[in-house]
Amino acid sequence: MADEDGRMDRRTFLLQSARALGAIVGGGALGAAIAGGSDDSLVWQIDPDKCIACGNCATACVLTPSAVKVVHDVDICGFCDLCFGFFAEQRPGDTEAAENQRCPTGAIIRNFVEEPYYEYMIDETKCIGCATCVEGCSQYGNGALIMQVRHDRCVNCNECAIAAQCPADAFVRVPADDPYLLRSKKLEEEAAEEQAGAGPLGRETEPSYQPPPQQQPPPWQPTREQSAAGQGFQPEPVSDQAAQGTQPAPEPQPHQPPPAAGNGEADSLQDLIGGDLR
């Protein structure tokens, strides 16, 4: 309250000062919450199936160097001898010299395993997130090199500057307790779902094709004459004795002597010359 001269008394001054200080502190806390992310349970991550390796991750991040790094998904790496994530497409040779490498900072380490296999590792202290190696691995390899936001350095901005410039909308929000999107993990989950009878999208898979059962042949076979004439099966009449399992004995035939064997060749010559051959 002010006195007659218009001056504020001590109590009113202290009360108004406290209110002003509280407003300043509250506004600062709200601003910090907005800058640090409104939901700490979600973090930014890159979907490797959407990433097109545009190079914005190296330049758009608020941190220098970028919080986005190349991650080597070793489980699906082909251990190629000539890896185009490591080697440049146009190069003077196939040695590990700097002029033959794709990475501008030499962040990829190539170690010999056994002929003809090599292991490739990422030195994240040198990686700037340019995605040059990711582009080569995606075009000529199996996509074992992917881009991921490293959460040991990301500040989890409420509005990620890289996400705002990503042309493929590859930046997504994921749970903070499971912050990485690896292709190898996705393939393992899809394989487990397929073994359990569900497709990669959780739908029940259609039963595999089963050929129709083959019909059993009939217990009878037509005679050759019937097949040639195109007739169907005509069963022969069965006598009562055959049905009862008894057959009459065949009747004896009268004996007939065999015809006498003549000298056919001699008779033919005699008839031919008309004379006696004796």
pLDDT in tens, the chain (278 residues): 455 555 556 667 666 766 765 555 455 444 444 444 456 899 999 999 999 999 999 999 999 999 999 999 988 999 999 999 999 999 999 999 999 999 999 999 999 999 999 999 999 999 999 999 999 999 999 999 999 999 999 999 999 999 999 999 999 999 999 999 999 999 999 999 998 876 555 555 555 556 666 666 556 555 565 555 555 444 555 555 544 555 565 666 666 655 555 555 555 555 555 555 44
The token pair that represents 241 in the structure block: 């004795």
- Calculate the alpha carbon distances from 85 to 110, 148, 183 in Å: 11, 16, 17
Give the HSE-up count for residue 236: Cα atoms under 13 Å, Cβ half-sphere.
Answer: 10
Residues contacting residue 269 through CB under 8 Å, at least 6 positions apart: 277
Which pLDDT score is estimated for 197?
79
> CA 128, CA 147: separation in Å to the nearest integer?
11
Which pLDDT score is estimated for 206?
57
Q: Tell me the H-state helices in 101-231.
A: 132-140, 161-165, 183-195, 224-229
> CA 129, CA 104: separation in Å to the nearest integer?
11
Which pLDDT score is estimated for 183?
92
The structure's pTM equals: 0.57
Residues contacting residue 69 through CB under 8 Å, at least 6 positions apart: 122, 124, 127, 129, 147, 148, 150
Q: What angle do CA 163, 167, 171 make, to 5 degrees?
A: 35
Strand residues in the chain grouped as ranges (E): 42-46, 68-72, 108-114, 117-122, 145-149, 171-175
Q: What angle do CA 48, 49, 53 make, to 5 degrees?
A: 60
Other CB atoms within 10 Å distance of the CB of residue 257: 5
Which pLDDT score is estimated for 75?
86
The token pair that represents 47 in the structure block: 């979907």
Q: Is the dihedral of CA 36, 37, 42, 45 positive or negative?
A: negative
Which pLDDT score is estimated for 40?
84
